[in-house]
Structure 1
Amino acid sequence: MDAAMTGPAAGGSVGRADMSPEERPPGGGATLTCPSCAGHVTAGERFCEACGADLAPSSAASAGSEGSERSEGSAGSAESPASPAASAERIGQPACRECGGGVADDGYCTQCGARAPSPRDHFTEQPASWVAAVCDRGISHRRNEDAMALDARQLPGSRAVLVVCDGVSSATDSDVASLAAARAARDLLAASDPRGQGTAATRVAATAKALEAAADAANEAVIANTSPSPGNPASCTFVAAVVDESLLVVGWVGDSRAYWLPDSGDPRLLTIDDSFAAEQIADGVPRHDAESGPHAHAITRWLGVDAPDHTPRAASLDLGDPGWVMVCSDGLWNYCSEPHDMADLVARTGRATGPEPLQLAAALVDWANAQGGKDNITVALARVGATRPTTTAPPTAAAALEATAHREEARPHGNVLR
């Protein structure tokens, strides 16, 4: 990748280090040699445009003209040139991990062209000891379009908010939009507290209403981060779980999921994907066949300026036993979809990591990467202790899922699940 690096001094020459004498700007002065990389520079330049080395007068003078000779190690010789990393630091650029050169604003090294790791590629959150999440780029994708945002009170099992948004790979700027959406929804839900409103049914209704408002806020955040230029506008999925002591309420748009994984008893998938695969499952196609088909991850609802409907569906559950609330993107459930399989995976992994949620989430991300890491991966967990059992029925699937507009996620290659 070509990238020009201009020195900070006013009046410095601008151009490539590999220009021939005929290509150089008029008045560029005598042709000199950079003491660091031996590239061509001109008198008056403060920094080498090839490697970023400092061309202070003492360094430039010691370099001499192209025809002069310099005796290495002789008395009075110039000080050894700075390393590329030191040069990058001096001009305010981060150093490349591959060669030590400077990393430009576009995220690529100005010397070797390597892509620098981005903080967006892998990040974690842990607002309280019992709630944590890990978001990772995976292996196949070039950028991380997943996002998550959490909020929790410090008392274990009291109140927590877990939000995951999965940016549509084929859409522009979905990585920016998904993070903005997750944070907007988190902030709204964190400020909402339906306790003190009477019965459990009243609390469920109030939380469901808050989830609708959170989806509205997330949708507005996506639109605010959508480029006005023509093309495929930014879009993402949305799933949020609100733990309120013994009450769990979830809302979703798209195919990101929420699971309840008790230490004993039946695990439950609380969400129903808004996808072509879910429509096939509702029609009687086995889950494995539907979720591995060619259009398995064509989602039917999403957030974004072109979304047909972003009102979240909601489900609630009274938590009667200790266990894990999990909210995740399909980068995890692609490899482990059935609730019993997911519960077994979490139990096995937890025996190795212990009950600390951040370590468990990180290990689950590592497991998904070990399966191939074909997509971005997000795992958010809340550990819930023993609570009073109730008779509230689990959420059920809608009687029918109407086929609406379809949005197909871009596939890395072959018949890989998004």
Structure 2
Amino acid sequence: MNSSTTNALPFEDTVGAWVPHGRFTVAPVSEGPLSGLTFAAKDLFDVAGHRTGAGNPTWLDTHAPASAHSALVAQLLGAGATLHGKTITDELAYSIHGDNMHYGAPLNTRAPDRVTGGSSSGSAAAAAAGLVDFALGTDTGGSTRVPGSYCGLWSLRTTHGLLSTEGVVPLSPLFDTMTWLAADADVFERVGQTLLNDSNEPVWRDAVVLTDACAQAEPLFAPLIDRVIDTLSTQFSLPVSYAPSSDTELEIWRQTYITVSAYDAWQTHKDWITSARPTFAEAIQGRWQAAANISVEAVEQARSLETKLKAQVRNVLGVNRIAILPSASSPAIERGADAATVDAIRASTFRITSVAGLAGLPQVNIPFIAQNGLPAGVSLLGPAGSDLALIRLAVAVGKKLNALGCGHG
């Protein structure tokens, strides 16, 4: 079967998820395990013959159409899935909010008065609305885990370096991971079985609740975490203990992540930014300015601390322990929230997401509806390379608890 392209979507974009230059369909190149499924790709992924915009019109204008599909797009088309175009990303993926000044803020179907989260905002909106079966995203500092929690989707951060970044616009290569989101748990797992190998199948020994991460989240997460704890203990016979991520406060984790990733992002994009002089949203422009001012001495100190923190949390998990933590610090943020509120929630969320980020570990979001009626996610964090086993465990736990996408909600 040869892949063919149609310059249209076979449905109306009712949630504002697609970029104007991303409204096309690419047929699969063969039958395979994903035959019959449809997906969208965040507008960081190259699709042959189409330009990649990376959330910024100047990037779109200064880059030629891709000569080849990104590695993951090609793999999914080869597995039988149909690609329905490209979705909105926050500019160069440098935000977890989900509001792009150039292309808009996609609709969060389960919480229409609230943002989707970002930077995989369009992918989350498209999957949550059921317009595609799953969508490709990326996660550097939380850009898939946060939208998953905000929109009630199955989502994850993969082990750093496990999936190919070929043909994907980077933010910070030291932390970028390739990801996907899906409303249905079985679809989510099916994609994982296609993209990941199962060579690392640990026999789970026990679980630990990361108390410092839980302390960063609003109280509505606690009953959901308790349900996951009870299920792992009673249904999966996993003893559950309680401990912090390390002996270092999570604010130090956040600062370390911000320093190292921002410096890396500036080294990656400084030539283009200084020559093309793109227009960024104020908050994102501020991040680039801060990144440009990070000294070599500061980043060397942060890299040294990163190495220590990474070793500590990996030692906590060993090879067959999982950790339990909230996926974000709050439910989705209200549209139009003031900058101070957004910044405070962003900081709390980054204290949570930086654990997997700095340690390079896989984390799977199990989506629930909290007592206030809003989506909220609980995550399982696993040892490096245990991604597929972690997905299978998370889905099994979700089904026991009637999580979203498990025939409920």
TM range (shorter): under 0.3
Higher helix share: 2
TM-score calculated relative to the size of structure 1? 0.25
Structure number with larger C-alpha Rg: 1
Which fold has the larger relative contact order, with Cα–Cα distance below 8 Å and residues 6 or more apart in sequence? Answer: 2
Higher strand share: 1
